[in-house]
């Protein structure tokens, strides 16, 4: 028999435990994904939005980091996103990149077409650093990771995750699953408009490979990013209760 005080202690303990989230990667949910391109032989979007990319310039699908990846020639190859996704207060980009050329030139991950107020541009700057920009954001348009893709970081797979919160006025850059830098920056939402992955209005082309290009409308934590890096999006979602991705994956894989 527990004493009265003992009972209260147990109740308090139960109440505290029930507040701890059951999932260690609670943010990785299918409905928080606004764009997911696994590049399994095509540019089909895994998310519920169905924002399929359009492959231009003769881009190829080759063996990638996880299954297939898209290979861009650094000249005119690009994956166009021809639908506006919208303005986001929280956004996480998670993707694999392998840069095989155009070192020290602009190399685009995801740039909205044009450059107007609110637009997101996300690319390697000619200074070789990962750069994230929102046109007109308080504190300046641009903010940078420390990490550079140059030298020995060329011709190899690098996992990159960039996480922005307008509410917290912070941006976090992660490289290969580890925090590279946290910057105080911004406060405005970023707009995902019609865009190019691997190119911007016929310029700044990516030369090399891109794989598992995923955008979330939430702030992912380091452990979420590590899970995505280690397991890949398909496995990560399949182990989440309530995420029914098998059908979607089948439809993505069946399109040649």
| Site residues for Ca ion per CB under 5 A | 38-39, 57-58, 64, 66-67, 73, 76-77, 211
Specify the residue for token string 């990962």: 130
- Shortest separation between residue 12's beta carbon and Ca ion, angstroms: 48
- Shortest separation between residue 245's beta carbon and Ca ion, angstroms: 14
Of 73 and 193, the one with the shorter C-beta distance to Ca ion is: 73
Specify the residue for token string 């007109």: 136
Of 53 and 189, the one with the shorter C-beta distance to Ca ion is: 53
Of 38 and 189, the one with the shorter C-beta distance to Ca ion is: 38
Cα–Cα distance for residue pair 168/249, rounded to 1 Å: 34
Beta strand 178-184 pairing with 170-175: antiparallel
Of 164 and 206, the one with the shorter C-beta distance to Ca ion is: 206
Of 211 and 221, the one with the shorter C-beta distance to Ca ion is: 211
Of 125 and 253, the one with the shorter C-beta distance to Ca ion is: 253
Residue whose C-alpha is closest to residue 77's, from 49, 104, 43, 105? 43
Q: Do 197 and 78 form a contact (C-beta atoms < 8 A)?
A: yes
- Shortest separation between residue 80's beta carbon and Ca ion, angstroms: 14
The structure tokens listed for 224 are: 């979420």
Write down the H helix ranges in 135-245. 222-238
CB contact burial 133-159 (16+ within 10 A = b; e otherwise): bbbebeeeeebbbebbbeeebbeebbb
């Amino acid at each position: 028999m527990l004493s009265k005080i003992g009972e209260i202690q147990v109740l308090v303990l139960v109440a505290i435990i029930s507040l701890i989230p059951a999932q260690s990667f609670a943010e990785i949910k299918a409905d928080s994904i606004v764009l997911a391109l696994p590049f399994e032989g095509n540019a089909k979007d895994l998310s519920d939005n169905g924002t399929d990319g359009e492959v231009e310039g003769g881009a190829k699908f080759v063996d990638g980091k996880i299954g297939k990846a898209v290979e861009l020639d650094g000249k005119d190859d690009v994956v166009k996103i021809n639908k506006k996704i919208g303005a986001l207060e929280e956004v996480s980009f998670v993707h694999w990149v392998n840069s095989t050329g155009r070192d020290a030139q602009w190399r685009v991950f995801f740039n909205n077409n044009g450059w107007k107020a609110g637009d997101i541009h996300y690319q390697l700057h000619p200074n070789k650093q990962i750069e994230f920009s929102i046109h007109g954001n308080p504190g300046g348009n641009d903010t940078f990771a420390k990490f550079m893709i140059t030298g020995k970081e060329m011709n190899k797979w690098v996992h990159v995750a960039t996480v922005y919160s307008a509410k917290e006025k912070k941006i976090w850059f992660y490289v290969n699953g580890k925090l590279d830098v946290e910057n105080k920056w911004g406060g405005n939402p970023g707009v995902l408009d019609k865009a190019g992955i691997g190119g911007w209005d016929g310029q700044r082309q990516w030369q090399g490979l891109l794989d598992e290009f995923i955008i979330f409308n939430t702030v992912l934590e380091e452990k979420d990013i590590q899970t995505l890096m280690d397991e890949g999006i398909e496995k990560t979602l399949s182990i989440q209760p309530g995420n029914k991705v098998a059908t979607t994956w089948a439809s993505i894989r069946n399109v040649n």
